[in-house]
Amino acid sequence: MDKKVIPYGRQHIDQNDIDAVVETLAADFLTQGPKVVEFENKFANYLGAKYAVAVSNATAGLHIAVMALGLKPGERVITTPITFAASANCIRYVGGEVWFADIDPETYLLSLESTRKLIESKPAGFFKGIIPVDFAGLPVNLEDFRELADKHNLWLIEDACHAPGGYFTDSKDEKQMCGNGNFADIGVFSFHPVKHIACGEGGMVTTNSEKLYNNLSKLRTHGITKENMSENHGGWYYEMQELGYNYRLTDIQSALGITQLLKNSKGVSRRNELANNYKKAFKGKIKYQSLPNGMYNAHHLFVIEIEDRKALYNYLRENNIFAQIHYIPVHTLPYYKEIGYGSADLSQAENYYSKCISLPMYPSLSDEEQEYVIDTTLSFL
Ligand SMILES: *Cc1c(COP(=O)(O)O)cnc(C)c1O
């Protein structure tokens, strides 16, 4: 078959990305140089967050996020079952317990009500934090989650890996960019090529708290800091204050991140254009992720629900359309099944998983290609 395969997502690299990387290769620093700081500043500016810490990938970012918030072995954190495993794994890295609450059947996001019920079914202090995910690029209403978290003295990490450029509108009618740190303590982004901004591997951790920023920066580099260096010390002096990691992003990757970031707003508008085309074609025929008022979906994914999902998946493949499933519910993965921590009733997540399929969604998907995807999907019906 010589027909081009249409994947569910792909990166978009152009000549100015290539030039930026090549320039950095010939510069003084391959890592820990000026490009990292520039990328952090530009990314924080883009969101309107105070601080950003570039990391080697979002999984590493989630790991140092729970560490910076002081999560200890045996402590419990709530997250959504409809996410990539990394949103939960970070809790396990420090020996914490992962508890799941159910999703909303229309938005596919962690349900505020299910989370509230789970928290209120336990004694005070039972949970330490919540990790909601801006699934598919749809922002979680973090104002509501913050209120719930504050009531029960919990921290909040926003897994915004799907959502750079997405925003929700708060009760004061203000636009709140995903990961801006106004409601969640920490936001985490991924720069894996299938996400909006491609660095090869890469991630960003954002916060508005100076204290968390200092913790995150230390943990990214072995737990080492020069903050206590005084006149009596030599210039080489540093302290390792705790056990950290090498989770740094390189200058080469940051150079790519900077040029990719510049294209993000345009990419997200194109993604929304594509989403609107899908919706127009499917309205009344196929269920798709709903868009609550005041939300701007960054559309990492375009998810539909269909009864005979497996048959559609195979049919699309036969026609060179490589749709994907997001996600196998985390609590059903063998590792988590075996541990068997408690959870809410997760029937909405399981029902969603039996029907969900993600159609191609990326800025360079052409109108013709999308029409072909739409026609093929409708012809399956
Ligand atoms: C991709 C992804 C991650 C992990 O990102 P990496 O950069 O690959 O480590 C975490 N959470 C979600 C929701 C993701 O989609």
Angle between helices 251-262 and 264-282 (to 10 degrees): 50
Q: Is the CB of 220 under 6 A from ligand 1?
A: no
Selection from 297, 305, 312 nearest residue 377 by Cα: 312
Tell whether the model's pLDDT for residue 331 goes beyond 80.
yes
User: What is the pLDDT, as a whole number, of residue 142?
Assistant: 98
Question: Ligand 1, residues 84, 90, 325: which to mutate, most atoms within 8 A of Cβ?
Answer: 84
* Residue-wise burial string across 234-253, b where 16 or more C-beta atoms lie within 10 A, e elsewhere: eeeeeeeeeebbebbbbbbb
The answer as to whether 58 is a domain residue is yes
Q: How does the average pLDDT of the chain come out, rounded? A: 97
DSSP secondary-structure letter at 298? -
The answer as to whether 240 is a domain residue is yes
Q: What is the DSSP string of 173-228?
A: S-EEETT-SSSSSEEEEE--TTSSS--SS-EEEEES-HHHHHHHHHHHBTTEE-TT
Check if the beta carbon of residue 32 is closer than 8 Å to that of residue 220: no
Domain range holding 155? 6-380
160-201 pLDDT per residue, tens: 999 999 999 999 999 999 999 999 999 999 999 999 999 999
Tell whether the model's pLDDT for residue 40 goes beyond 70.
yes
Q: Is the CB of 9 under 6 A from ligand 1?
A: no
Domain count, the chain: 1
Atom of ligand 1 nearest to the CA of 203: 7
The answer as to whether 110 is a domain residue is yes
Q: State the distance from the centre of ligand 1 to the C-alpha of 186, rounded, in angstroms.
A: 15
Q: State the distance from the centre of ligand 1 to the C-alpha of 283, rounded, in angstroms.
A: 30
> pTM of the entire structure?
0.97
Question: Ligand 1, residues 92, 110, 138, 192: which to mutate, most atoms within 8 A of Cβ?
Answer: 192
119-153 pLDDT per residue, tens: 999 999 999 999 999 999 999 999 999 999 999 99
Selection from 113, 185, 96, 103 nearest residue 136 by Cα: 103
The answer as to whether 106 is a domain residue is yes
- Token duo for residue 373: 């995807």
User: Which residue's CA is the nearest one to ligand 1's atom 10?
Assistant: 86
Q: Is the CB of 57 under 6 A from ligand 1?
A: yes
Selection from 56, 57, 99, 48 nearest residue 74 by Cα: 99
- Kindly state the average pLDDT of the residues 52-60: 98
User: What is the pLDDT, as a whole number, of residue 343?
Assistant: 78
- Single-letter code of the amino acid located at 37: V
User: What is the pLDDT, as a whole number, of residue 280?
Assistant: 98
Q: Is the CB of 159 under 6 A from ligand 1?
A: yes
User: Which residue's CA is the nearest one to ligand 1's atom 5?
Assistant: 58
User: What is the pLDDT, as a whole number, of residue 208?
Assistant: 98
The answer as to whether 347 is a domain residue is yes
CA atoms of 196 and 364, how far apart (whole Å): 12
The answer as to whether 104 is a domain residue is yes
Tell whether the model's pLDDT for residue 356 goes beyond 60.
yes
User: What is the pLDDT, as a whole number, of residue 340?
Assistant: 84
User: What is the pLDDT, as a whole number, of residue 1?
Assistant: 44
Tell whether the model's pLDDT for residue 2 goes beyond 70.
no
Q: Is the CB of 299 under 6 A from ligand 1?
A: no
Check if the beta carbon of residue 5 is closer than 8 Å to that of residue 323: no
Distances, alpha carbon 205 to alpha carbons 58, 103, 271, in Å: 8, 25, 24
Domain CATH code at residue 101: 3.40.640.10
Q: State the distance from the centre of ligand 1 to the C-alpha of 58, rounded, in angstroms.
A: 5
Q: Is the CB of 133 under 6 A from ligand 1?
A: yes
CA atoms of 101 and 116, how far apart (whole Å): 9
Q: Parallel, antiparallel, or unpaired for β 76-79 and 97-100?
A: parallel
Q: Which helix (H) or strand (E) holds 158?
A: strand 155-159
The answer as to whether 1 is a domain residue is no
